[in-house]
Amino acid sequence: MALEALRDRIGTDRFLHLTRTWLADHRYGNATTEEYEALAEKISGQDLDAFFNVWLHTPGKPAPWW
């Protein structure tokens, strides 16, 4: 759900660019959630702190975003 919400927030083209970049950069390694968040912000050009706080750092299921 969080990934679909992120795609909705930043748009499909940017989300696909984010996904391809993430997979290429970390193909044989590990990474952190914070690194993913930073890359998402870089690629989208948006401040996503509030989004990630709701979707990743707050217990429970977020309210519907639609």
**Considering its fold, how many domains does the chain have in total?**
1
pTM (predicted TM-score): 0.89
pLDDT of residue 62: 84
The amino acid present at 63, given as its one-letter code, is A
46 located within any domain: yes
pLDDT of residue 66: 54
pLDDT of residue 44: 98
pLDDT of residue 63: 76
Contact 14, 6 (CB under 8 A): no
65 located within any domain: no
Q: What is the pLDDT along the chain (66 residues), one digit of tens a residue?
A: 899 999 999 999 999 999 999 999 999 999 999 999 999 999 999 999 999 999 999 998 887 655
Please give the distance of CA 18 from its chain centroid, rounded to a whole number. Answer: 8
What is the residue range of 52's domain? 2-56
52 located within any domain: yes
